[in-house]
Chain A
Amino acid sequence: AQSVAQPEDQVNVAEGNPLTVKCTYSVSGNPYLFWYVQYPNRGLQFLLKYITGDNLVKGSYGFEAEFNKSQTSFHLKKPSALVSDSALYFCAVRDGGYNKLIFGAGTRLAVHP
């Protein structure tokens, strides 16, 4: 079965510093990987996806993610964090041909002024 793991419950970073939120995956076949963000009392919002092609994927709000096949990782990154980036971030993998997504446990990002 397809799965993703987010090893960190929480990531703390100072505003202006680079941030990384980690995700590793376990899939059979080619991975379809996603990052979503959830702000308080809101639904999940799509940030970016990796289907095929370049290992560095750019997404919304200045976020990017690096796909690493040898390390089975798909880490989310941003060069300069904003306080407004503070939210819950989910990594996900597509499971099956009808776009069912399996989500990781989530990582809470806290950006401090």
Chain B
Amino acid sequence: DSGVTQTPKHLITATGQRVTLRCSPRSGDLSVYWYQQSLDQGLQFLIQYYNGEERAKGNILERFSAQQFPDLHSELNLSSLELGDSALYFCASSVVPAPSSGELFFGEGSRLTVL
């Protein structure tokens, strides 16, 4: 158990809908990362937050947004869903800044299926 909790584990929805994925980081970790894993794109970095502020942005679509709340949990919002958004969405957390570390702790993911 990594200590990172993601909900829901599975989600099935229809095209055009909106969903919210939730992540609780490990106790004490200030940074949260979102990744998307799909068969054709591999593991893609979406966005990173550190102590409530956005720190890095990757290949995140404009239809997607995220935030990190004062209690450090994070939510990833996916809207106007398309079939191609079907994927496994991972949240990870880490202690930063930690120049000599860099290890990320991953949750078990939220599997999104868009029909």
Binding site for B on A (CB under 8 A): 32, 34, 36, 41-46, 49, 51, 90, 94-106
Contacts and interface: CB of A to CB of B under 8 A. Distances in A.
Contact of B55 (A41, A44, A98, A105): A98
A51 B35 CA distance: 23
Given A43-B4, A46-B103, A49-B103, A100 B48 contact: yes
Q: Would you call the interface of chain A mostly helix, strand, loop, or mixed?
A: loop
A45 to B, nearest CB: 7
B99 interface: yes
10 contacts: A41-B108, A42-B108, A49-B103, A97-B97, A98-B31, A98-B55, A100-B33, A100-B45, A100-B48, A103-B45
Nearest to A6: B42
B90 A44 contact: yes
B90 A43 contact: yes
Contact of B42 (A51, A94, A99, A103): A103
Contacts of B105: 46
Given A98-B31, A101-B33, A103-B42, 4 more contacts: A36-B106, A90-B43, A98-B50, A99-B104
B109 interface: yes
Nearest to B104: A101
A98 B42 contact: no
B112 interface: no
A97 B99 contact: yes
